[in-house]
Structure 1
Amino acid sequence: ELRRYYIERADLARARARRRVMNDFSPALAEKFVWKLNRTWLMKVPCFSLVVERLHLTGEAGMENYLVRVALAMQPEVYVPTERPPARRLYIVTHGLALHRGKKITTG
């Protein structure tokens, strides 16, 4: 468990380093970078399914911009299995699983 936690913490450090580098980009370049980096997993998140569907159907730039803004607002976190993350936040599981009211939640 400890080993896995430190591996995930290394991923977290890389994500934070990317964020610091991106802060030096122009806004337009930062948006392109964020979209390229996060597009694949954002499109798989169930709560964004209507946005993704509309993006596929219309190619509407506003939908892509919305997802970019979501990605920019998100903060990566790592928790060990016994921890209880703070309530009233949107969590997206990218590795492993979480329990919510006894129900297993996996990647996506």
Structure 2
Amino acid sequence: MNKTQALGRYGEELATRRLTATGMHILARNWRCGRTGEIDIVARDGDTLVICEVKTRRHGTYEHPMAALTPRKTERLRRLAACWLDRNDTPTPPGGVRIDLVGIVLPHRGAPDLTHARGVA
């Protein structure tokens, strides 16, 4: 595992902890759908299916993680959500499907800064 992958895994672990602390139930992590891509976290929030993208950055590098969700990435996440429902033989839940983004910035010192944006797409 390289440094970038390790950073991503660490961020996903932090995001999973935060989501479960808010009452969400984690259904899958790093779920793949062929060439379409990967969902970082699939969760259930009440009667809503949540597709969660996690972006982790070190302080001062690149753009802020909350700016990383482009229209192209959003469309890919929608296709992945449909693939999840199809592959798991699951009808769309009563609460629908929501796409969330968890952005994490790791400072040089101190606790990570984690932002959870619900329904970003």
TM over 0.5: no
TM-score, reference length from structure 2: 0.28
Higher strand share: 2
> Which of the pair has more CA radius of gyration?
1
TM-score, reference length from structure 1: 0.31
Higher helix share: 1
